[in-house]
Amino acid sequence: MDLIVDTPYEFPGFLPQPALCRLRIFTAGLDRPPIVIASDSPLYRGASITMYVENLAAIVCRDFQIAPDAMIWIEHYRKWRSYGETFRFVEFQVKPRNGEPWKPAWHFTDRPTVERLVGGPLTD
């Protein structure tokens, strides 16, 4: 897969200041869905990627022309203090009236699984 986006990404969040995550998008052509990895920022501000996931996914889909029903969304939290690193697949339903992602469901996974999906190691 090709890494086409790897950037700090601001999103509205719940506070007056924008929230921040690291956004990575991988693609492998038209026959495979893009993989979006949203990593929570160690500089927490505004909203967590978990609490704002539906809105964040809708914004990312709009900004990068990704169909919500044709992507793989992965939530990533780095190791922090006594908490280990976590990865979760987030599956969305799609709102019938506007096509935006909603009703997320989380499923734990691990780094080796994600690295197999993207075709190589993830950088920190």
**pTM score, whole prediction:** 0.93
Residue 94 lies in a domain: yes
How far apart (Å, rounded) are the C-alpha atoms in residues 26 and 6?
A: 9
Give the model confidence (pLDDT) of 3-48 as tens digits: 999 999 999 888 888 899 999 999 987 789 999 999 998 876 778 8
- Whole-number average pLDDT of the chain: 92
Residue 21 lies in a domain: yes
Residue 102 lies in a domain: yes
Does the pLDDT value for residue 120 go beyond 80? yes
Residue 123 lies in a domain: no
For residue 66, the model assigns a pLDDT of: 95
Residue 122 lies in a domain: no
Range of the domain at 104: 2-117
Domain count across the chain: 1
Give the model confidence (pLDDT) of 63-97 as tens digits: 999 999 999 999 999 987 778 999 999 999 999 99
Report the run of H or E that residue 38 belongs to, with start and end. Answer: strand 35-40
Pairing of strands 19-27, 101-109: unpaired
